[in-house]
Amino acid sequence: MDRSYFNYLDMPFNCYIKYIYLFLLLVCECIGINHISAQTAIGVKWGYTDNYINADLSNREYTHLENLGGYSLGIIYKKTITNIFALKAELGLIQKNYRVERSESYTGIYENYHNSYFQLPLTGQIDIFKRPKFSIALNGGAYCAYWVYAKVNGVTPNVFDTSNQLVADGQGTQNFYLTSYSEKYNFNKFKDNRFEFGLQTGGTLQYSINEKHSFFLEYNYYQSFSDIQKKYMVNQKSRINQTFLLSAGFLLRFNKKINTNE
């Protein structure tokens, strides 16, 4: 997994967790959470994404799209409204990658698109099964996202590296050797739609260690309603992100009113 998509974030993976934790403390200070009630929790989550681009490639012979994995990191603010219902806001970095694969005589040629988004889901969570230490909940809501970085790598024919070969009928054929490449993608303001919005649904398994600390496993599906490309030509085919996220996280609940300024 390539974790160095941002030059200014080229650091060990565990450093992300440390900086997210520090950011949570800063959020509490900046938004003035002087009194946090027992119904409030903050936390972190990290996970694996599996993204698919819903697109029509019928105009490109021997070409198909494949899912491609990535990762996600985020912070959580959760507010319990009733005994079984809560509202959540999450801010995180999520990858929505995909692969373009060639087949038949083009076998071996492919392109991997690594796309990183800042994403903000706003969801409601309702418990369908609840015990003192264990609960199962369903999630649903909406999200918005901004495409912040992209990278492309793959294998392509090299027109400067060829070989000639005679076949049985005496005619010659020219073969192209394949070359690997990897490069940052430069956004085009006329073609790329960097804003995304859509709906989210999923489920959560949560285990409470004690009154303050709990761990959870979560599985979410994000359906985009926006094309990753702007309408810049006639008969343009849309490309829509469909993303699955399996994540684990940690929540810190506040059991009594505390003063964060002390």
Q: Amino acid letter at 20?
A: I
d(CA 66, CA 54): 10
Helix (H) or strand (E) holding 49: strand 40-55
Cβ contact 211:243 at 8 Å: no
pLDDT of residue 167: 60
Phi first, then psi, for residue 145 (nearest 5°) are -150, 160
Secondary structure, 3-state, 70-86: EEEEEEEEEEECCCCEE
pLDDT of residue 7: 40
Domains of the chain: 7-253 (2.40.160.20)
> Both tokens of residue 125?
């969570």
d(CA 34, CA 18): 23
Please provide the size of the chain in residues.
Answer: 262
Expressed in angstroms, the distance from the first to the final Cα of the chain is 42
> Both tokens of residue 80?
């319990």
pLDDT tens track, the chain, 262 positions: 443 333 433 444 455 455 555 555 555 555 444 444 448 999 999 999 999 999 887 777 888 899 999 999 999 999 998 889 999 999 999 999 999 998 887 788 889 999 999 999 999 999 999 998 999 999 999 999 999 999 999 988 765 655 556 565 656 565 667 788 899 999 999 999 999 999 999 999 999 999 889 999 999 999 999 999 998 888 888 899 999 999 999 999 885 544 444 4
The number of angstroms, rounded, from the C-alpha of 124 to the middle of its chain's C-alpha atoms is: 20
* pTM: predicted TM-score of the whole model, two decimal places: 0.78
Q: Give the SS3 label for residue 36.
A: coil
pLDDT of residue 117: 97
Q: Using the structure block, give the residue that is written with the tokens 């993303």.
A: 243
pLDDT of residue 173: 63
d(CA 63, CA 134): 46
Burial class of residue 57, CB neighbours in 10 A (0-12, 13-18, 19+): middle
Nearest Cα to 43, choosing from 66, 27, 21, 12? 21
pLDDT of residue 88: 95
